[in-house]
């Protein structure tokens, strides 16, 4: 199913201050495995159904500041990690440590460390890429999957190979392959390159002063800049190997801002074709930074999708435990 939302950006409510008190003080824990623990903000009651929110480049956990409170208020346990290398999460030194499969295993380790076997997974940008990988390989561990402006890896690689236009749009990926120079350029420019990448590609007013404060603090954490660039270096040097059609069987919704200057709408459509039970909802007036452009709509879509598949899971769970056993028949 593909749908379009025409809600204008101006109809969105003003962004609220970035304040943990607005959605309950976070309990910050380092979760995962030895040497690869993620600084994770934990909200809601332990034991409630789990929602995990994964951010992308060059952001941090605060990508999801508009989504946390509605999810907690709806009765979910919400984990919001800084991805490996970001914030005060561990920062492995080798480029190979940032392969997609290893980062996916980091997320699985966080879920296990929190005491859960299954979750609702939400990802944007690089967080979305990891969420896709999770869905391809571990769909049975997902109650639902929600992706914001991140293509299925096969859809992205296919477009990259076949479209000179997409190659031009992805110039930064190749620039980031260079040793030390990208870090030097970004630092010498006082991190303006990262800020401009967001400012010039997002809707006016989508990011508030508190967003920039949070991002600037995260960008300057020692080791974080090289770590986040290593995601791109590992992507080309250790290309993910995906067998077969790489279909995702977990219920999957793709939410897509059509004004994304780096990723095309055709990628979203191709990604939907790689889901068994999926829907695509697009926003003609939104950009790559969808959680900031359309916070209220994204909240509604997430709550609707998660609740729908929470109910289905509970129904199946009841049927499984009430079905007559062979010896009872």
| Residues designated catalytic | 125, 232, 288
What distance in Å separates the CA atoms of residue 118 and residue 143, rounded to the nearest whole number? 6
Q: Are strands 252-257 and 278-283 parallel, antiparallel or unpaired?
A: parallel
- Spatial neighbors of 54 by CB under 8 A, at least 6 apart, are 81, 83, 107, 121, 122, 123, 124, 126, 127, 128, 130, 131
Strand partners, 147: 123, 254
Q: By C-alpha distance, which of 78, 91, 80, 79 is closest to 37?
A: 91
List the structure tokens of 62. Answer: 């605060």
Q: By C-alpha distance, which of 211, 301, 298 is closest to 9?
A: 298
Instruction: Give SS3 for 243.
Output: coil
């Amino acid at each position: 199913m593909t749908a379009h939302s025409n809600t204008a950006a101006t109809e969105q409510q003003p962004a609220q201050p970035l304040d943990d008190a607005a959605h309950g003080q976070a309990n910050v824990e380092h979760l995962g495995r030895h040497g690869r623990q993620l600084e994770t903000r934990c909200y809601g009651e332990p034991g409630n159904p789990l929602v995990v929110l994964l951010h992308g480049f060059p952001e941090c956990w605060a990508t999801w500041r508009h989504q946390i409170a509605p999810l907690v208020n709806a009765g979910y346990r919400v984990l919001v990690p800084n991805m490996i290398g970001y914030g005060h999460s561990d920062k492995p030194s080798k480029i190979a440590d940032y392969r997609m499969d290893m980062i996916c295993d980091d997320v699985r380790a966080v879920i296990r460390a929190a005491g859960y076997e299954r979750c609702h997974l939400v990802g944007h940008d690089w967080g979305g890429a990891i969420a896709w990988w999770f869905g391809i390989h571990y769909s049975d561990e997902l109650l639902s999957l929600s992706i914001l402006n991140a293509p299925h890896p096969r859809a992205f690689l296919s477009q990259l190979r076949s479209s000179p236009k997409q190659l031009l749009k992805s110039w930064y990926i190749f620039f980031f392959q260079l040793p030390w120079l990208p870090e030097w350029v970004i630092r010498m420019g006082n991190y303006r390159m990262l800020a401009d990448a967001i400012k010039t590609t997002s809707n006016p007013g989508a990011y508030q002063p508190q967003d920039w404060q949070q991002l600037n603090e995260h960008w300057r954490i020692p080791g974080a800049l090289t770590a986040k660039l290593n995601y791109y270096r590992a992507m080309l040097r250790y290309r993910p190997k995906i067998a077969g059609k790489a279909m995702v069987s977990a219920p999957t919704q793709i939410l897509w801002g059509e004004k994304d200057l780096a990723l095309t709408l055709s990628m979203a459509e191709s990604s939907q074709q790689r889901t068994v039970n999926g829907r695509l909802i697009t926003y003609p007036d939104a950009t790559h930074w969808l959680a900031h452009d359309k916070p209220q709509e994204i909240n509604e879509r997430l709550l609707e999708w998660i609740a729908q598949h929470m109910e289905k899971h509970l129904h199946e769970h009841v049927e499984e435990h009430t079905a007559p056993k062979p010896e009872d028949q």
